[in-house]
Amino acid sequence: MKYVDEFRDGELARQIAGRIAREADPARDYRFMEFCGGHTHAIARYGIAELLPPQVRMIHGPGCPVCVLPIGRVDQAIDLALNRGAIVCTYGDTMRVPASGGLSMIKAKARGADIRMVYSPADALAVARQHPDREVVFFAIGFETTTPPTALTLKRAQAEGLDNFSVLACHVLTPAAITHLLDAAEARDIRDTLGAVPLDGFVGPAHVSILIGSRPYEGFAADYRKPVVIAGFEPLDVMQAILMLVRQVNDGRGVVENEFTRAVSRDGNRAAQALVAEVFEPRETFEWRGLGEVPMSALRLRPALVRFDAERRFGLRYQPVPDHRQCACGQILRGVKRPTDCTLFGNVCTPDHPIGSCMVSSEGACAAHYSYGRFRDIPIRVERGPVVA
């Protein structure tokens, strides 16, 4: 396949759906989590769930970096801009994540905070060059995919001696989160505390896997006997991955398979991995929205770059903040609930007025279902009128 249209061929999709229906055992349930928000978006946009037999269920995972950003971290960024006079730069979706006191970064900007949307950390570095008399902080979020650009920007800042530039690092790591979910599903005490759903396998992320490769998933696939199939973002990619997962479950296997061979290798991008390792080191623990504290699941700057670490530069102290009491984002990110299980979904909470983080980014489960899936929830009633001769 060379062209995008081939990955969206309706007839091929129906053929794969037929194979899934024939091979899925009607006497058992298959619970597969798509970890990546890009896959959640694709499943909603192309109606993939409606093509699956009832015993095959797709469960949305915490694969949207904006969604898993905890309120306390957004509060730190707002504090830097609103109360400490810093210019804070970040990505567009991050600016709309709900924070404490009814604020978000975009609402804080309306109150006078100097918060700027950028397309890359290099843009934030340019702001620092333009304003040598101001502290400029890049609020860095995202999974492994967005970490190398941050690392490269930090090395440039170090080489140029830009003493007014720093990074508030909130980069998180995918394998640690998947392991945490599997631990929660198997440990009774954790399940009672947080809520967890049994899982039979994972659709592995695409962009993340291009960087880290398929090797990092092999450990927990073997330890937990849970299959992982790395998939691209197109609908046929996702459906083929689901078929591969069904076959692994039927065979009693739990290995890593790579559907996305056109972009993902076993070892990934070693040059990017080396760059990240040079600049960052693992944190002992980090809070994820919905998952709580997850060990070794995020990155911080190495001691050699401590002067560019906004947390240490400004003496920031992290304070956890609970979500809105009626917001179900935490349970949705763990796969315990679906977007429509939240009482706020689609009425109080919409993409134009998000109450929870899952409604902010187009990759969030709630935003994806609001855009593409909510109309499928409406029962169709056919009214028959009088026959006209």
Could you give the CA distance from residue 176 to residue 264 in angstroms, rounded to a whole number?
20
Could you give the CA distance from residue 74 to residue 105 in angstroms, rounded to a whole number?
7
pTM summary value: 0.90
For the CA atoms of 340, 181, 250, 263, the dihedral, rounded to the nearest 10 degrees, stands at 90
Over the stretch 122-165, which tens digit does the pLDDT of each residue have?
Answer: 999 999 999 999 999 999 999 999 999 999 999 999 999 999 99
Classify strands 292-295 and 285-288 as parallel, antiparallel or unpaired: antiparallel
- Percent of the chain at pLDDT above 70? 92
Could you give the CA distance from residue 359 to residue 160 in angstroms, rounded to a whole number?
39
Other C-beta atoms within 10 Å of 346: how many? 16
Could you give the CA distance from residue 335 to residue 197 in angstroms, rounded to a whole number?
6
* Helix then strand then coil, % of the chain, to nearest 5: 45, 15, 40
Classify strands 56-60 and 30-34 as parallel, antiparallel or unpaired: parallel
> Which string of b and e fits 109-120 if b means at least 16 CB within 10 Å?
beeebbbbebeb
Domain ranges of the chain: 71-171+269-313
pLDDT of residue 382: 44
pLDDT of residue 379: 55
Classify strands 136-142 and 87-90 as parallel, antiparallel or unpaired: parallel
Q: What is the CATH number of domain 71-171+269-313?
A: 3.40.50.11740
Residue whose structure tokens are 């995020």: 298
Could you give the CA distance from residue 203 to residue 142 in angstroms, rounded to a whole number?
19
Q: How far is CA 312 from the centre of its chain?
A: 26
pLDDT of residue 377: 65
Could you give the CA distance from residue 262 to residue 58 in angstroms, rounded to a whole number?
24
Angle between the N-to-C axes of helices 10-23 and 235-251, in degrees from 0 to 180, rounded to the nearest 10: 10
Contact yes or no for 147/301 (Cβ under 8 A) = no
pLDDT of residue 195: 53
Residue ranges, the chain, pLDDT below 50: 188-194, 380-385, 387-389
